[in-house]
Structure 1
């Protein structure tokens, strides 16, 4: 069974990335991010978004 708290953890544009990995936004766009970077706006719309670890 997956850990529900990890599955539902959200990151917003401009938050600091704490764990290197692939993230998917609310629009379905996927990016690879490295710990220490900041979460970008949506690559498709350029707007602030919510990211989830993919």
Structure 2
């Protein structure tokens, strides 16, 4: 898969979540909508090639 060059401003504010498996389970149990937002953030950052 080839990665496009992405301007730094396109990735501003995107930090990949670093939840442990147990942290994911706890977040899902406590606040599923927040987990969905974290997941969406990760997918969006990946789509923008902010991290590999």
Query: What TM-score does the superposition give when structure 1 sets the normalisation length?
Result: 0.25
Structure possessing the higher radius of gyration over alpha carbons: 2
* Greater share of strand: 1
Query: What TM-score does the superposition give when structure 2 sets the normalisation length?
Result: 0.25
Ranked by relative contact order (alpha carbons within 8 Å, sequence separation 6 or more), the top structure is: 2
